[in-house]
Chains A and B, each alone.
Chain A
């Protein structure tokens, strides 16, 4: 599913068009960047920080208001697994829609990283995630298949209940730069290992990175439909399976040594 995509040609770079980022903030980021330059080569070896994310789509049938070309209103999004604000790590998300949409390349420059559209058809959405420069200069690409029509045909189609398809994944930063680590280490969206105190990195206050709770998807209208991802079930299943396999391995070993 995942591969590093050749960089999508962004006709509009940060400078033009997308006025959602207020200019003062941009200056701040640039200042950060300059500071980072000095120590950006300094990396924390064998440290791994990661960001649990969920990406997917949610589609509402429009019911009476549905027309032939616009039967559903849907939203594609990248969110924190526990609905935390991802803005601390992600700078920009580009959604590539079906070419039949006008402007199929949609850029979202600030959290929440979501995009709503109306349409009638299902298709594959390419999602490119760009990070703040202290994290990584490369982008990641994900693919998600937009689902409008539920496979479960038990209940009647409702305008109230959306069709939700989500995938859990984790963005992993191996050997992060010290600056990045310091900046994100106390953010709830980011999971960092406990470092021995010898590193002596002072956490940078988080608040300056993103003003307010703007990107937090907790208050989002859609959030009531978000799925909860827990690995407990899966871990349990895996543990049982491993036990079983190990039992048979032991049995076979005994048979072989006879």
Chain B
């Protein structure tokens, strides 16, 4: 039976192959046993990702055949209750025998074992100038009543004590009793309360830090991420530069910078710009010679290599101090200039020129950043707080950053940039450029606004 039969249409002259085709399909789509029709319909006939048939259920079904099952409305007691309250529920009765044993949910009524101390023990081990015995007794009563829910206990506690104080008292008392009652200290050394004593100051500090983080505004958060990303970039480029330098010529001129770099990493979040002013954009240039030399040295070790491979290595070394973002911008600029990202005829001369061009573009991008920074600085209230030198580019002004090397959008096709950049928002880059969505000349205003 098919749609044509229903519609009363004549069969097509090719009934046989049709039949052949449809039959195996039906077979493969047959609903497997043990799975309800509705559930199977949801899978759309595809193999489910998770096992949809409960094997245990199938086994039980097999047994069911020689069992007589009835459901009865029976009373039951709950061992978790102390009041012997009688309630009723439906019970599955197999062959007329109601199930025996405790109410199945009783086991979930957990309670905490709270140590009890005698007056004598209190006198001997538990006296604390900050706590009276009355208070301690009250604390332990509440602990038992509210199962160590200290927030609730602190709420009910008569004198005002912090949660930390209550916890400290409770755990230190419990600990002292445990140790006092043990025949030897070794017996209880494994007990969690003894093994890991409650540390008040650490807890207070932890909560303070936590609340600080949680109460941070989005703006502060972004600034923090920016500073951290910047610091990371700086230290990475420093390390790269240093290792390149070390391999070439032992140079100690970095010692000063090293000290300052360490100071940057935990820099005050409130004023990142002032502490980060000598960011490392230009590091690429002073060290590029060293980087080139080390690449050349490693290529020499190969004894033989392809020219394109050498160029790739050189390009990588030259941009090692630049972030992923800057590298993308260099490539964008190359495209704007109509230059192949990878030379088509990589002769020695072409490779050398290509490398030089890339380096020059890096310089250009750094200069742009400096200029943007200078402009931003000029308009800010922070005027004159530090000296401006051409060799200290700033990377913090990401908001006013532009992805284009050239200010003039007319000379190069400016439309593609925005889209391309948007794609770049890979999750891994979130921390590096928290304010990174597309930059193009088209929408600088919007960006500034969203950057806050």
A residues with CB within 8 A of B: 1-4, 50, 52, 131, 135-138, 140, 142, 168-175, 229-231, 233-235, 237-242, 244-246, 248-249, 252-253, 255-257
Contacts and interface: CB of A to CB of B under 8 A. Distances in A.
A238 to B, nearest CB: 4
Nearest to B370: A256
A217 B353 CA distance: 31
A50 B348 contact: yes
Given A237-B338, A241-B339, A4 B360 contact: no
A229 B354 CA distance: 17
B308 A1 contact: yes
A256 B299 contact: no
8 contacts: A2-B305, A2-B306, A136-B304, A169-B307, A175-B300, A233-B345, A246-B360, A253-B390
Given A170-B348, A249-B364, 15 more contacts: A2-B309, A4-B302, A50-B348, A168-B344, A171-B304, A172-B307, A174-B303, A174-B304, A231-B347, A231-B349, A238-B354, A238-B357, A244-B337, A245-B364, A253-B390
A194 B278 CA distance: 46
B74 interface: no
Given A138-B302, A168-B344, A248 B405 contact: yes
A171 B338 contact: no
A233 B379 CA distance: 46
Counting from the closest, the 4 A-B pairs by CB-CB distance are A170-B307, A252-B367, A136-B304, A238-B353
Contacts of B344: 168, 229, 234
B403 to A, nearest CB: 15
Interface string B333-351: 1100111100111111110
Nearest to A230: B345
B356 interface: yes
Interface of B: 299-300, 302-310, 312, 333-334, 337-340, 343-350, 353-354, 356-357, 360-361, 363-364, 367-368, 370-371, 374, 390, 405-406
A253 B308 contact: no
A136 to B, nearest CB: 4
Nearest to A255: B371
A257 B390 contact: yes
Contact of A173 (B304, B367, B368): B304
Given A168-B345, A244-B337, A253-B390, A235 B350 contact: yes
Contacts of A52: 347
Contact of B390 (A172, A246, A256): A256
Nearest to A248: B364
A168 B302 CA distance: 20
A256 B363 CA distance: 13
A174 B309 CA distance: 13
B346 A170 contact: yes
A256 B371 contact: yes
A172 B357 contact: no
Contacts of B310: 172
Nearest to A1: B308
Given A168-B346, A245-B337, A135 B304 contact: yes
A169 B308 contact: yes
Contacts of A3: 309
Contacts of B353: 235, 238-239, 242
B169 to A, nearest CB: 65
A128 to B, nearest CB: 12
A136 B300 CA distance: 12
B333 to A, nearest CB: 8
B350 A231 contact: yes
Contacts of A238: 339, 350, 353-354, 357
B349 A235 contact: yes
Nearest to B408: A248
B345 A234 contact: yes
B307 A173 contact: no
B371 A140 contact: no
Given A170-B346, A170-B347, A256-B371, A140 B306 contact: yes
A174 B299 contact: yes
A172 B361 contact: no
A256 B374 contact: yes
A135 B340 CA distance: 32
Contacts of B368: 252
A172 B351 CA distance: 13
Contacts of B357: 238, 241-242, 245
Contact of B340 (A2, A229, A234, A239): A234
Contacts of B348: 50, 170
Contact of B307 (A50, A175, A241): A50
A169 B390 contact: no
Contacts of A240: 337
B304 A241 contact: no
A191 B317 CA distance: 27
A169 B305 CA distance: 10
A52 B367 CA distance: 38
A137 B37 CA distance: 68
A257 B389 CA distance: 9
Given A229-B345, A246-B360, A253-B390, A138 B367 contact: no
B371 A249 contact: no
Contact of A256 (B303, B333, B367): B367
